[in-house]
Amino acid sequence: MRPRFKLPIGLAVLVAATVYGAAATHRIKLVPRFSPGQVMRYRIESSSKSTGKTTGPIANPEGGSQSSNSIHMVVRLEVLSLTPERGVRLRATYEKSSAQSEADALDLSANSFSSRYTRLEGRTFEFTLEPDGKVTNTQDLTAAVAGESPKAIEPVLTWLAQVVPGTSFPRNGISVSQKWTGEHPVEGAVLSGLALRSESVYVRNEPCRSNSTAASTSRPAASDPAAVECAVILTQFEIARRGSSHADATPDDYRRNGLRTSGTWTGSGESLDSYSWATGLLVSSTQSSTQNMDYQVTSASTGSSVHNVGKIQSQSHITLIPSP
C-alpha cells in the first residue's frame, strides 16, 4: 500500500509580486498580477527516492525496498482573460513532458507512472485561477484526441492545482527580514489531523539570475532598479499531527470503507524562491523535503492489517525561461 498524498513541491508558478513604494521602504505586496496575452514558460524538474518496507497478511519475498521517480517538463502558460470578480483564465500547454521510474523489484506501476507524464506532452488545459488562489473550471482541450476519460486525467489535474500556492503571503506586504507563518491541513493523507506548518522570511534583494523578463508583455526601462532586482524568500516547513497522539487517526474516507489507521507521519524541508520586481513573476524555486512514515491500516471486520515503514526524499526545481 503506497502513500496517497505527495508533499507539494512548491511550484509557485502563478504567484506575482507588485512593488508598492519599493524605492522608499523596500516593501512589496505579493498579489497576482497578470495581463491578457501574457505568456510564461517554466522548466520543471523534480525527483524523489523512496525506501522502506511493507508487510501484510501475505508475505512477498520479492517485494522491493526502494524506488525512485523523476519528472521533466516545460509548461507554457498564457493569460486568456481576467476580471476582478472571477479571477484569471489561463491556458497551460505541456511543450515537453517525460518521466522515469526505477525500483529494485518488479513494479507494475512504474510503466503507468512514466506513460502518464509522457502522454502529457503536447496537451493543453484551460483553467481559472480565482482571486483566493483556487483552481476551478479546468478543461482538457485535447481529451478527445487523447481518448481519455475525466477520471484518467484526475491525477494530472490534481498536480496542476498544486502548483498554485494560493494566498499564503501577508496581505499588507513584506519587507526584508520580515517573517510570517502559515498552516494548512494535508489532504488525502493516510492519517487524519496532519498539518503542513511553514515559516517564511524575506531574506534579501538580489539581481535576478534569469533573463526571463521576456515573459511579460511589457518590460520596464533598464534604468529602473526593479527591472533587475529579485526578492528572495526562504521557507522552512514541517508536517506534524495536531491534537493528541493517542486520538484515533482514521480519516473519514477510510472509516467509511471499514478501515482503521494508526501510526506516525512526519516531514520537514525548505524552499528558496526568487521573484522578479520587473515582471512580478517567479524566476526560480528550489525545494527539498524528507518524509518519514510508520503507519498501519487495519480492517475493522477481519482484523487483518498492512504495515508500512518508509522514507521519502524529494527535490524539485522550477525556472522561468524565455519564450522562443
Q: With beta carbons less than 8 A apart as the criterion, state whether 137 and 161 touch.
A: no
The pLDDT averaged over each successive group of 10 residues in the chain (324 residues) is 43 40 57 83 91 76 76 91 85 92 68 81 87 79 58 52 59 88 88 92 84 42 52 92 82 91 93 81 88 92 90 92 77
The DSSP element (H or E) to which 193 belongs, if any, is none
Which pLDDT score, from 0 to 100, does residue 303 have? 87
Which pLDDT score, from 0 to 100, does residue 67 have? 87
Which pLDDT score, from 0 to 100, does residue 223 have? 39
Which pLDDT score, from 0 to 100, does residue 237 have? 94
Q: Report the CATH fold assignment for 18-168+176-321.
A: Lipovitellin-phosvitin complex; beta-sheet shell regions (2.30.230)
Alpha helix ranges (H) inside the chain: 22-25, 110-118, 143-146, 154-162, 252-256
Which pLDDT score, from 0 to 100, does residue 224 have? 42
Q: The whole model's pTM is what? A: 0.77
Nearest to 308 by CA among 290, 291, 323, 321: 291
